Amino acid sequence: MPAAVEVFPWKTAPFDLGGETVFAVGDVHGCAAELRALLDAIRTLASGSKGPHRLVYLGDLIDRGPDTIGVLRLWAQEGSQLGVHRVDRIIGNHEILMLLAMGVGDRAAEAAAMWLAERTGGRRVLAEMRAAVHDPVARPSHELAMAAFGRHAFDKLLTQRSHLRLGNTVFVHGGLDGTMAADAFLAPPWTAGIGARWAWITTGFLDWQGGFGGTLVVHGHTPPRKHFALTGMADPHLFRHDRLGLDGGSALTGIVAAAEIRDGRYRILEAGTAR
C-alpha cells in the first residue's frame, strides 16, 4: 500500500522565523515509503507559497524500519531536488550510536553494544549494509557504510549539525534542559555520545513547563506513547510550553510526522500506510 499524506489545519503559535517557511521532519527510522510521500507533499506545498523555504531533518533517520538505505538516499538529496532553497540535517541519537560504533576504541565498543541491542534496531541496518555489499560478516566501519549508503550520503552523515537556530526557534533532536542555559546545553559535540544530552533528553525537557528563556523548541526523539507518559498530551504534535514535538512513532506506528512552520503558525503533516 502506498503511503498517504494528511495535511492538518493551521494552528497559531508564536514562531518568528524571519519570513522563512520551514518544513521540519521528525523521526523516520527506516520508513522510506513514508518519507518519499512526505517529500512529495512538501515539494507541492513549497511550490504554492512565496518566500524562502527550508527543509530541516530532526534526526533518527535510521534503525528499526525496513529501508534505512532508501531513507538515507532520499535524505541526502539537495534542496534543488526537493523544491526548497536549503536543507539542514540535524543528528539524532541513533545516528550518533551508529557513527561511534563504526570507530575504534572503548567508546566504539560501548556504542556498538547499544546500537546493536534489540530495542535500538541497529542490527537491521547492519544486515542491510551487509546485503548491499554481499558480505554477511562485514563489521561496522566507515568503509562498510560508505559502500552501502554511497559516498554522498555517508559524507552527509559525518557533517550533520547538533541544532539549528532560526529566529526565536531552536531545531534539535531531543530537546533542551529547562534548568540550563540553552547555549551551554547545546555545546557538547555529537562525538560525546550520551554526553550530548540534546540528542537524548526526555525527562527534564518534556515535563518542564517553565519555558526556555524565550526560545521555542522543535524536536523529535520521543514517540507518542513515551511523550504521553511525560506530558499527558493525547496529541504529541501540539505546540505547548514552548515545544513542538514531531516524532510520530514511524517504525512503531507507521506514521512519519512533519510540520510546515511559518511566522505565527504551523500545521502538521503525517505520512503513513497505517490509515
pLDDT tens-place string over residues 124-171: 999 999 999 999 999 999 999 999 999 999 999 999 999 999 999 999
145 lies in some domain: no
Question: Cα–Cα distance between 159 and 147 in angstroms, integer?
Answer: 18
Residue-level pLDDT at 2: 75
* Banded model confidence at residue 106, pLDDT cuts 50, 70, 90: confident
Measure Cα distances from 211 to 32, 173, 175 in Å. Answer: 35, 18, 12
Q: Reply yes or no on whether the pLDDT at 272 is more than 50.
A: yes
Q: What average pLDDT score do residues 96-110 get? A: 90
Mean pLDDT across the chain: 96
Task: Quickly count: other Cβ atoms within 10 Å of residue 159's Cβ.
Answer: 9
DSSP state of 75: H
Q: Are 6 and 274 in contact (CB under 8 A)?
A: no
pLDDT tens by residue, 32-82: 999 999 999 999 999 988 899 999 999 999 999 999 999 999 999 999 999
220 lies in some domain: yes
56 lies in some domain: yes
Residue-level pLDDT at 48: 87
pLDDT tens by residue, 237-260: 999 999 999 999 999 999 999 999
Judge residue 137's burial from the number of C-beta atoms within 10 Å of its C-beta, 0-12 exposed, 13-18 middle, 19 or more buried.
exposed
Q: Tell me what percent of the residues of the chain surpass a pLDDT of 90.
A: 95
Domain count, the chain: 1
Q: Where would I find the H helices in the chain?
A: 32-47, 68-75, 79-82, 93-101, 106-115, 122-133, 142-149, 151-158, 182-186, 224-231
Q: What average pLDDT score do residues 183-200 get? A: 97
Question: Cα–Cα distance between 217 and 165 in angstroms, integer?
Answer: 10
Residue-level pLDDT at 115: 97
What pTM was computed for the model? 0.97
156 lies in some domain: no
Domain containing 55 — which CATH number?
A: 3.60.21.10
CA distance between the termini of the chain: 10
Q: What average pLDDT score do residues 87-103 get? A: 97
Q: Which domain holds residue 41?
A: 4-89+161-272
Question: Cα–Cα distance between 156 and 133 in angstroms, integer?
Answer: 20
Residue-level pLDDT at 190: 96
Q: Reply yes or no on whether the pLDDT at 275 is more than 60.
A: no
136 lies in some domain: no
Determine the length of the chain.
Answer: 275
